[in-house]
Amino acid sequence: MKKILSILAIMIFAIGFSQKLANIQSGEQLNYRIHYGILNAGTATLTTLQTVYKGQPHFYVKGYGKTTGAVRAFFKVEDVYESFINIDTGLPSYYVRNVREGSYTQHLETAFNHNNQTLILTDKETNISKVMNSVKGVQDMLSAFYYLRSLDSLDLKVGTVKKLNVWIDDEMFPFQLRIAGTENVKTKFGTINCLKIVPQVMSGRVFKDKEGVTLWVTNDRNYVPVLVQAQLAVGSLKASIDSYSNVKYPLKFN
């Protein structure tokens, strides 16, 4: 159960941005129910609001996750992720990870400088900042989600492999996403046609293998994630869409 919502974030936020962002509208909210095996383990929410950050138009995106019910009684999780994403470039300007998972806490804030490919990482618990090298086009976990969601349908054809570098916590991770096919997925709202996407993740400590995660997103201009499944080193994790609002294009459930 440790870092269960961080794992969900990596999976869901691995799908993602580009004006680029034309298919994302201010006020969008996506809510998910998380299951760990047979347990109703928690909830996760993504909200998006248009704002101005340092004089430029941005989306402020917030991801919030927590354990619930019986799981919360023995393992309390409160995870907050925030990102200011430049609407013109689709790149993150500022990223926050503030998590409480049992006795573990971490509060990191990252300011990106895409012009010289550096970033400033600040540990808010120690008030220590350091400048680190970055790479061109780096995304954080939230901005990566919107980056890929806003790609053209030709870029997400079955068989396509997309690569990107994602800043997670305090280091860079290369991600590779394979569009494996299309499937009809049952949800609480009905059945909807989806793209089946398989991110390549690091196996061993958390996941059973490199392709132990599968993500289904609506096969339309929204690319809304409706289901995530992961085979973990211990047990399995599933996140399913529980409610949504202010999605730009109508979702067509049967």
* Strand, coil or helix: 6: helix
- Distance in angstroms (rounded) separating the CA atoms of residues 207 and 201: 8
Say whether pLDDT at 42 is over 80.
yes
Mean pLDDT of all residues in the chain? 86
The answer to whether the beta carbons of residues 190 and 184 sit under 8 Å apart is no
In this model, does residue 57 exceed pLDDT 50?
yes
**What is the rounded average pLDDT of the residues 20-29?**
88
Phi, psi dihedral angles at 183 (to 5 degrees): -150, 150
Write out the DSSP string of 26-65.
Answer: TT-EEEEEEEETTEEEEEEEEEEEEEEETTEEEEEEEEEE
CA distance 52 to 85: 10
Q: How far apart are CA 140 and CA 60, in angstroms?
A: 13
Q: How confident is the model at residue 9 (pLDDT cuts 50, 70, 90)?
A: low
pLDDT of amino acid 217:
94
What's the pLDDT score for residue 117? 95
Top mean pLDDT of 1-5, 13-17, 104-108, 166-170 is at 104-108
At residue 33 the predicted structure's pLDDT band, cuts being 50, 70 and 90, is very high
The model's pLDDT over 229-242, given as tens digits with 9 standing for 90+, comes to: 887 666 678 999 99
Rounded Cα–Cα distance for residues 55 and 77 (Å): 35
pTM: 0.86
pLDDT at 240: 96
Residue 40: left if φ>0, alpha if ψ -120 to 50, beta else—which one?
A: beta
Q: Which CATH architecture has domain 4-245?
A: Beta Barrel (2.40)
So where are the chain's domains? 4-245
pLDDT at residue number 147: 85
- Would the pLDDT of 13 be above 90? no
The DSSP bridge partners found for residue 42 are 34, 67
> Residue 206: pLDDT above 50?
no
Is 70 exceeded by the pLDDT of residue 202? no
pLDDT tens digits, 64-120: 999 998 888 888 989 999 999 999 899 999 999 999 988 999 999 999 999 999 999
DSSP state of 189: T
pLDDT higher than 60, residue 208: no
Buried b (16+ CB within 10 A) or exposed e, 116-131: eeebebbeeeeeeeee
